[in-house]
């Protein structure tokens, strides 16, 4: 009897790990992400968003006589736990439950990225861009360092990041968030189709 229970438990655990290790379709993962908004609001009247957590980390770890960092950062400790959970979840998904198969791309997309000098066969993060050996070339500094600066500046200028505007802001019918999301997508499309090929050539 005990052996049967053990075997049944192992079968359930195996099925569970198979379920969470395979990519989920958008119609499952999308609603689950969207449900974070009402759950946070109902449980503690907390808005979803993580860009303000950087300000909190700076106030916690680098105390200084700067007016911008003078606030009660302890009141928002839940954000620190939230971001820590994102890192832990990312580690579990990226290393423990890692899918060794590359994402399936259309032949035309593979042809386009190959034409820019980027090899699809290397993985999700191609070595031509994301490697220490090529980091300090002017092209990669422009892409990685310049892009990171623009993301940080744009997040502060827009008053929120893609998750804050795209998930929380749209879910609560905020017009500035709609404008921000339209801008994100428009410039993302322009950058991917015109600016990136120009830089990589």
Kindly report, residue by residue over 94-145, the tens digit of the pLDDT: 787 777 776 777 888 888 888 887 876 666 778 777 778 877 888 888 888 8
Q: How many CB atoms lie within 10 A of CB 9?
A: 10
Question: What is the pTM for the complete model shown?
Answer: 0.72
Query: Span 1-18, mean pLDDT?
Result: 68
CA gap 195, 191 in Å, rounded: 5
Mean pLDDT of 4-29: 74
Q: What is the pLDDT of residue 4?
A: 66
pLDDT of residue 178: 93
Compute CA 35 distance to the chain's CA centroid, rounded to the nearest angstrom. Answer: 17
* DSSP label at residue 128: T
Higher per-residue pLDDT: 161 or 63: 161
Question: Among 38-42, 87-91, 118-122, 186-190, which stretch is predicted with the lowest mean pLDDT?
Answer: 118-122
Domain residue spans in the chain? 1-32, 35-100, 131-201
Task: Evaluate the CA torsion angle 110, 115, 120, 125 in order and state its sign.
Answer: negative
Residue 6 has pLDDT above 70, yes or no: no
DSSP 34-74: HTHHHHHHHHH-----STHHHHHHHHHHS--S-GGG-S-GG
CA 60 to chain centroid, in Å, comes to 23
């Amino acid at each position: 009897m005990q052996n049967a229970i053990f075997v049944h438990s192992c079968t359930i655990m195996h099925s569970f790990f198979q379920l969470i290790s395979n990519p989920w379709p958008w119609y499952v993962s999308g609603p689950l992400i969207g449900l974070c908004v009402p759950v946070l609001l109902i449980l503690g009247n907390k808005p979803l968003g993580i860009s303000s957590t950087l300000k909190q980390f700076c106030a916690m770890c680098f105390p200084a006589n700067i007016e911008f960092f003078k606030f009660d950062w302890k009141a928002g400790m839940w954000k620190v736990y939230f971001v820590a959970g994102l890192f832990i979840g990312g580690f579990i998904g990226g290393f423990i439950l890692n899918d060794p198969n590359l994402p399936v791309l259309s032949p035309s997309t593979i042809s386009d990225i190959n034409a820019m000098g980027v090899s699809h066969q290397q993985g999700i993060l191609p070595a031509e861009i994301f490697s220490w050996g090529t980091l300090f070339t002017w092209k990669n500094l422009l892409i990685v360092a310049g892009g990171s600066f623009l993301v940080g500046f744009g997040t502060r200028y827009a008053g929120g990041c893609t998750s804050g505007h795209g998930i929380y802001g749209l879910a609560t019918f905020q017009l500035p968030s709609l404008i921000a999301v339209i801008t994100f997508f428009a410039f993302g499309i322009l950058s991917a189709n015109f600016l990136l090929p120009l830089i990589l050539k």
